[in-house]
């Protein structure tokens, strides 16, 4: 108490005082600034939508909703459809979410629940987060030169022994869904792991102590108390990770095989909206610009929808855990 | 409409800024030139411009953004010249005020690179390789391939076909060649910068020449089409192809020149040699063009451009072979020298 009265800038010696005009103005302008920054983001998003949508509008009128349900991209005959791209985008991201998300949460539990001493956990955390610093192209090259040769024998063994399983119904020649999914999983791992760790760390010590006090084992505490309490944060990390996977471009363009097919097989080449845009846009003729913009709008809508739905579910579940 | 004007304005501003910067840097030189377009001849052009700049003090800034982007910049008049692997079509030329001069500045060959253990020489007949790219021949030991390759031990391996994922001039020239020699290819896939390749699990698309090269090198049993220069630089084996005369020819400067010799340029200096005649002609060869304005530029620029073209047609041609391009035949150089007179102020 004495410390505070010594350091606090005050003239009349009392602890409470009305804010000065400067503090008042400071507060006001800070509020204005944050409001402005918030508004700017909304305007920016609206501007992107308006601009891309404007360029896509002629193609939307011409191709309608059939664009979303057909599989063909032929500028020579002006037939365009992006079903294969939508499928590939969602399928690869979903698979990455299962593998990368599961792994990310496991890493977060491992690093926060006292399995390691604090210093070692800090080093591990740093290393996991450093994965986020590896450029997409490097992941792509690593995929081509290291990952694919390593997984090819395993994949082809799976295909030879279990050809009737739809996931293994084709051979893995090289690039395809499987290597793309593994690289995507690694790419979303740091996002999921970092945010989940924050969620775990935010759990008050008292809750864990209470759980142990009730006589739970470590695993029971993690399973029944820690994870449900942190579920809001974990879910947020998964939504962010999924969003990251949906928009990933370069590594996928290099690894997924860019083939317009809708197939459940993990070993078959596929394609995504982002890689279609990246590879076709630079040399696109006038007749392709409209359909490409339409595909961009589709990607934007999918990404936004995932985030909005994720946020809604999150606010719903967090309300449940609080009450 | 507004959007178009805005982006156009932004581009003009960006290029203007770039020219101001380069202008102050190269103050000693009389003038500097900017160009953009095709990426396929970029390794050669960048060697030219570097040497040309040292010899004459004229700085040439070339941005390899792709043929389509080059044509767009050229039409918007934000560059002094552009380059395109697919020349320009009539519609595109009509959009340029003042007129266009197209000069075929160099040429290349497209090879079929493959990855087969222990097979150092592979012959692919005319009726076979279109079928591979149609997905009809799927095994390396297929009878049709074996028949042309006596004494070669072809493995019982699946063929993985690697095609271009991006839109490109290489794609344009390769698919037009296949369309020219196979009716079936023409009707199901067709020729173009982007084409609908068969949707099969053994068809993989990779971005760029380097993407295809890397994928072929990493994938046992793969075959893909790349520029001759890329195959040479990366030591990737490539197949001998059967030409119209029925000979199996390996890509190289002589076979390329023989293919170009049969080219018949139209009044715009455009010719696509989709299926060259000639005993020793390599079947897939292509010119690549530079695009210039007929009018609407100042005299200094015109002089600098002509100096650059002259350099490309003389000293420039001697560098072609080493970098994997085909030196232009004498008759084409003569046509170019005549046509460049049309470039004016």
Instruction: Dump pLDDT digits (tens) for B231-284.
Output: 888 899 999 999 999 999 999 988 998 898 878 888 889 988 889 988 999 999
For B20, phi and psi rounded to 5 degrees? -60, -45
**In the structure, what pLDDT confidence band is assigned to residue B303 with cuts at 50, 70 and 90?**
very high
Q: pLDDT digit string (tens) for A251-281?
A: 998 999 998 889 899 999 999 999 999 888 8
Q: Which of A47-56, A127-136, A308-317, B57-66 has the lowest mean pLDDT?
A: A308-317
Q: Per-residue pLDDT averaged across A111-133, rounded? A: 89
- Residue range B323-341: average pLDDT? 91
Residue B340 is classified by DSSP as G
> Tens digits of per-residue pLDDT, B148-174?
998 899 999 999 999 998 888 888 899
The reported pLDDT for the residue numbered B208 is 83
Contacts of B201 in chain A (CB under 8 A): 170-171, 173, 176, 259, 261, 263, 265, 267-269
At residue A311, does pLDDT exceed 80? yes
> ipTM higher than 0.95?
no
pLDDT band at A318 (very low <50, low <70, confident <90, very high): low
Spatial distance between the Cα atoms of B126 and A203, rounded to a whole number of angstroms? 70
Please report how many Cα atoms fall inside a 13 Å half-sphere around the Cα of residue B76, on the Cβ side: 22
pLDDT at A322 over 50: no
Token pair, residue B256, equals 């390329």
Asked if the model's pLDDT at residue B27 lies above 60, the reply is no
* pLDDT tops 90 at residue B107: yes
The pLDDT tens digits of the residues spanning A37-69 come to: 999 999 999 999 999 999 999 999 999 899 999
pLDDT range class, residue B105, cuts 50, 70, 90: very high
CA atoms of B121 and B136, how far apart (whole Å)? 22
Per-residue pLDDT tens for A16-44?
888 888 989 999 999 999 999 999 999 99
Supply the mean pLDDT for chain A: 88
Say how far apart CA B182 and CA A104 lie, in whole Å: 52
Contact B193 A149 (CB under 8 A): no
Interface list for chain B against chain A, based on CB atoms closer than 8 Å: 3, 65-69, 158, 160, 165-169, 190-197, 199-207, 211, 214-215, 218-219, 221-222
Q: What is the structure's pLDDT at A218?
A: 86
pLDDT value for A319? 60
Q: Give the mean model confidence (pLDDT) for residues B55-68.
A: 88
Q: What is the DSSP code string of B21-56?
A: HHHHHTTTSS-EEEEEE-STTHHHHHHHHHHHHHHH
The whole-number pLDDT of residue A163 equals 87
Cβ contact B201–A261 (<8 Å)? yes
Average pLDDT over residues B19-40: 64
Q: Do A283 and B69 touch (CB under 8 A)?
A: yes
Q: At what angle do helices A273-280 and A83-96 cross, to 10 degrees?
A: 120
pLDDT (average), residues A284-289? 80
């Amino acid at each position: 108490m004495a410390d505070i009265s010594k350091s606090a800038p005050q003239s009349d010696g009392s602890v409470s005082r009305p804010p000065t005009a400067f503090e008042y103005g400071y507060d006001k302008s800070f509020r204005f600034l944050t409001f402005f920054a918030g508004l700017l983001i909304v305007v920016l998003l609206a501007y992107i939508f308006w601009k891309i949508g404007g360029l896509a509008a002629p193609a939307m009128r011409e191709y309608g909703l059939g664009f979303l349900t057909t599989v063909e991209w032929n500028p020579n005959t002006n037939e365009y459809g992006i079903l294969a791209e939508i499928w590939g985008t969602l399928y690869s991201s979903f698979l990455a979410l299962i593998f990368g998300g599961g792994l990310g949460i496991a890493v977060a539990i491992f690093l926060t629940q006292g399995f390691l001493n604090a210093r070692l956990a800090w080093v591990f955390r740093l290393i996991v987060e450093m994965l986020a610093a590896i450029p997409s192209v490097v992941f792509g090259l690593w995929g081509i030169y290291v990952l694919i040769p390593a997984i090819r024998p395993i994949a082809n063994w799976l295909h030879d022994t279990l050809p009737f399983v739809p996931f293994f119904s084709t051979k893995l020649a090289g690039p395809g869904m499987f290597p793309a999914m593994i690289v995507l999983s690694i790419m979303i791992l740091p996002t999921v792991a970092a945010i989940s760790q924050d969620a775990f760390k935010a759990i008050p010590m008292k809750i864990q102590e209470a759980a142990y006090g009730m006589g739970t084992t470590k695993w029971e505490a993690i399973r029944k108390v820690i994870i449900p309490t942190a579920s809001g944060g974990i879910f947020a990390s998964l939504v962010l990770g999924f969003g990251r996977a949906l928009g990933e471009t370069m590594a996928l363009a290099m690894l997924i095989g860019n083939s317009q097919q809708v197939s459940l097989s993990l070993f078959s080449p596929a394609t995504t909206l982002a890689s279609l845009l990246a590879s076709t846009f630079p040399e696109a003729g006038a007749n392709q610009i409209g359909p490409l913009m339409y595909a961009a709008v589709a990607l934007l809508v999918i990404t936004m929808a995932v985030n909005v739905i994720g946020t809604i579910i999150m606010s719903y579940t967090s309300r449940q855990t609080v009450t | 409409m507004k959007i178009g004007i805005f982006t156009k304005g932004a581009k003009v501003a960006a290029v203007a800024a770039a020219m101001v910067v380069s202008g102050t840097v190269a103050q000693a030189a009389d003038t500097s030139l900017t160009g953009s377009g095709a990426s396929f001849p970029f390794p050669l052009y960048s060697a030219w411009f570097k040497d040309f700049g040292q010899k004459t003090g004229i700085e040439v800034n070339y941005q390899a953004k792709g043929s389509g982007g080059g044509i767009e910049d050229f039409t918007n008049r934000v560059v002094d010249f552009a380059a395109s692997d697919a020349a320009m079509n009539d519609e595109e030329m009509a959009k340029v005020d003042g007129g266009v001069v197209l000069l075929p500045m160099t040429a290349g060959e497209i090879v079929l690179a493959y990855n087969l253990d222990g097979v150092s020489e592979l012959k692919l007949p005319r009726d076979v390789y279109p079928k591979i790219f149609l997905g009809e021949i799927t095994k390396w030991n297929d009878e049709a391939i074996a028949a042309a390759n006596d004494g070669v031990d072809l493995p019982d391996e699946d063929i993985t076909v690697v095609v271009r994922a991006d839109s490109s001039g290489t794609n344009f020239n390769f698919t037009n060649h296949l369309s020219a020699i196979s009716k079936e290819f023409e009707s199901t896939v067709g020729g173009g910068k982007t084409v609908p390749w068969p949707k099969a699990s053994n068809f993989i698309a990779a971005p760029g020449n380097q993407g295809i090269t890397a994928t072929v090198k990493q994938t046992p049993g793969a075959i893909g089409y790349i520029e001759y220069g890329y195959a040479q630089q990366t030591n990737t084996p490539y197949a001998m192809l059967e030409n119209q005369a029925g000979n199996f020819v390996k890509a190289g400067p002589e076979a390329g020149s023989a293919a170009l010799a049969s080219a018949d340029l139209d009044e715009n200096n455009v010719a696509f040699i989709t299926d060259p005649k000639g005993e020793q002609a390599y079947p897939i060869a292509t010119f690549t063009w530079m695009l210039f304005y007929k009018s609407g530029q100042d005299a200094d620029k015109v002089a600098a451009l002509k100096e650059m073209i002259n350099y490309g047609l003389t000293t420039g041609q001697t560098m072609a072979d080493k970098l994997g391009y085909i030196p232009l035949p004498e008759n084409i150089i003569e046509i170019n020298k005549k046509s460049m007179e049309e470039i004016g102020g």
